[in-house]
Amino acid sequence: MKKWNYNDVYKKYDMNGVINIGKGTVKVHDIFNGLPEFMKQADCIFCDPPCSRGNLSTFYTKAELTNTNDYLHFQNRLFECIDEVKPIDLFLEVFKSNKESFIADCRKRYKYVDVYESTYYFKENNVCWIIHAHNYELKEPFPINGTDEEDVIEWITQNIDYKCIGDFCMGRGLVGYYSNKAGKHFVGTELNKKRLAILLDMINNNSMKGYH
Ligand SMILES: C[S@@+](CC[C@H](N)C(=O)[O-])C[C@H]1O[C@@H](n2cnc3c(N)ncnc32)[C@H](O)[C@@H]1O
């Protein structure tokens, strides 16, 4: 298990309950256990959820938990959370395994669903897509096609006129980090305290150094 301790950063922080950090409010939390009230502040969502049952189970293992849900159950629960928040702008990072079913679920809820090509970890072979679902008309597509997820997140935090951005699966917190850097509010939940602690450390250090 040592491999997934993320340098024990979590031991520096009290990871219990609701945590206020920088411009944000976050919680170690499984979205199957309801949605914290503070998440409803979000008028924009960016979420990079697990993309398959195997991937979901790996994240539970890293959190020292056991996954009992199949992927459809997880996807349905994620969209229930989205329905509770009703963001004006919904951004979802997807992979080959969940792209089409996520696009279909977005189309059930939003008038416009745009799909941008992207990559992760700045590697051109790491292919993913960013879905943007919205009900307002765009004059032109956002200038994010073909850019890495991290650059997309930074662009969103700087260019979308949101009051608060939310992420149900924060991981190590790119969304929180860049929103905080842009001086804008963020909220988020994350299953694994060891991963979420990295966001606290990055914000406290005002740097991603050591976490890239
Ligand atoms: C692909 S990662 C997100 C990476 C993130 N964008 C970042 O900046 O690190 C997906 C995250 O979802 C979390 N997760 C998985 N199941 C969850 C659940 N039921 N509730 C909340 N978070 C969950 C995992 O622990 C993992 O950190």
Per-residue confidence band for 211, with pLDDT thresholds at 50, 70 and 90: confident
What pLDDT score does 178 carry? 98
Q: Which residues pair with 127 in a beta bridge?
A: 119
Separation between Cα atoms, residue 70 and residue 58, nearest integer Å: 13
pLDDT of 130 strictly over 80: yes
Q: Which residue has the tokens 């979590």?
A: 10
Q: 174: Cβ below 6 Å to ligand 1?
A: yes
Q: Which residues pair with 28 in a beta bridge?
A: 190
Q: Which residues pair with 187 in a beta bridge?
A: 25, 166
Using an 8 Å Cβ cutoff, are 18 and 181 in contact? Answer: no
Mutation test residue for ligand 1: of 59, 75, 212, the one with most atoms within 8 Å of CB: 59
Q: Which atom of ligand 1 is nearest to the CA of 49?
A: 10
What pLDDT score does 2 carry? 52
Taking domain 2-205, whether its CATH number is 3.40.50.150 is answered by: yes
Q: 50: Cβ below 6 Å to ligand 1?
A: yes
With a pLDDT cut of 70, the percent of the chain lying above it is 99
What pLDDT score does 1 carry? 47
What pLDDT score does 212 carry? 76
